[in-house]
Amino acid sequence: MPAAPIKFEKFQATDDADCQRRIIAAKEKLGKRLVILGHHYQHESVYRHADYTGDSLKLSRYTENLDAEYIVFLGVHFMAEVADILSRPEQIAILPDLAAGCSMADMANLAKVERSYRELNKVLNFDEQITPITYINSAADLKAFCGEHGGIVCTSTNAPKILEWGFAQREKVLFFPDQNLGRWSGYKMGIPLEQMPVWDPDQPLGGLTVEQIKNAKILLWKGHCAVHQMFRLQNIEKFRAEHPDGFVISHPEAPFEVCQHSDYVGSTEYILKTISDAPANTKWLVGTELNLVNRLAEQMKAEGKLVQFMSHVVCECSTMARIDPQHLAWVLENLVEGKVVNQIKVPAHEAKLAKLTLDRMLAAS
């Protein structure tokens, strides 16, 4: 009878320093059979072990071309799903802690999206008039829904391009689950705010009138990122008062008024590049997740750059933070023993449709 996997309980009380040594040792033993992907929002204690780092789009591109047997994702559930969908069938995608989800992704589930599809069909012909676009921060079954209905996936890097693609297919877009990204991207394309109403999936007709639906260009799903939603205009005003020569840069998941009053708005990759390429001794207020900002602030000290986090309260992504050295050491030592724990496997039919939307996105980006 095969030996059972090592239980996580054996790692729960292990201190970080011991975990670091064990992670390094396991990586050496696994060699090229293993690749670790790390999202920018991960804590430094695990991020340091990533072979490739990036935002969702960059990591998606990496996943397509990996030869490793095991792909361990330092991120959240939907990211590991994307890794499974884009990798070859024999490759194994692993998420160190299955509880690492995404509260924004959970704001749009398949039942609500399908109900919205039926509601919208009362007013117009969805499959002829609406392109469904899901942010990559969503479950695989929503990506599959978009695949089935002529839609596509976007990231914060390529959202404007993907919206253009969507409008080239049909006259309207249903954008889920993040209203802030959809609104900012539409606004930058010149779409009036009144043509981007919020669709509340828990209300009949999304809480809108028939006229509002017919006049809409983008129907924005009532969803948001809890971390980015914490940023306020007052944070920007305070920074500008203290540093009149400073710059404000925000992620498009931030509230609309925060993006409006920022000097720059873009994805995590864009934020990193903009600040890294900026002249020495410049000052920056950054509206995105805390781990990225702290790492960037430390890296920029040598150039005399001041990098400040936008909120006065801690805004760490609590689900990203679930990926800790203990969970990483646990999954890697199991792999050394030939045991796979926490594999992420998207059902074949769902994966096929979801891959269609991801392939469309990568081709359009």
Domains and CATH numbers, the chain: 9-100+320-346 (3.40.50.10800), 105-225 (3.40.50.10800), 228-309 (3.40.50.10800)
252 is in an annotated binding site: yes
Residue-wise pLDDT tens for the chain (365 aa)? 467 999 999 999 999 999 999 999 999 999 999 999 999 999 999 999 999 999 988 998 899 889 999 999 999 999 999 999 999 999 999 999 999 999 989 999 999 999 999 999 999 999 999 999 999 999 999 999 999 999 999 999 999 999 999 999 999 999 999 999 999 999 999 999 999 999 999 999 999 999 999 999 999 999 999 999 999 999 999 999 999 999 999 999 999 999 999 999 999 999 999 999 999 999 999 999 999 999 999 999 999 999 999 997 766 788 888 999 999 999 999 999 999 999 999 999 999 999 999 999 999 98
56 annotated as belonging to a binding site for a ligand? yes
The reply to whether 49 sits in an annotated binding site is no
Sign of CA dihedral 296, 301, 304, 309: positive
Q: pLDDT tens digit string along 99-157?
A: 999 998 999 999 999 999 999 999 999 999 999 999 999 999 999 999 999 999 999 99
Query: pLDDT digits over 50-90, tens only?
Result: 999 999 889 988 998 899 999 999 999 999 999 999 999 99
Q: Was 47 annotated as part of a binding site?
A: no
- 59 and 79 Cβ atoms separated by less than 8 Å: yes
Q: Is 19 annotated as belonging to a binding site?
A: no
Question: Encoding tokens for residue 75?
Answer: 């991120």
Known binding residue 116? Answer is: no
The CA-atom distances, in angstroms, between 200 and each of 180, 181, 346 are 14, 16, 28
Burial of 172 (0-12, 13-18, 19+ CB in 10 A): buried
Determine if residue 267 is labeled as part of a ligand binding site.
no
Tally the C-alpha atoms within 13 A of residue 123's C-alpha that lie toward its C-beta.
19
User: Is 137 known to sit in a ligand binding site?
Assistant: yes
Give the integer Cα–Cα distance in Å for 219 and 130: 9
Q: Confirm or deny that 134 is annotated as ligand binding.
A: no
Q: Is 317 annotated as a binding residue?
A: yes
Residues 40 and 63 sit within 8 Å (Cβ to Cβ):
no
Residue among 66, 76, 82 nearest 40 (CA): 76
39 is in an annotated binding site: yes
Q: Is 154 annotated as a binding residue?
A: no
Q: What is the pTM of this model?
A: 0.94
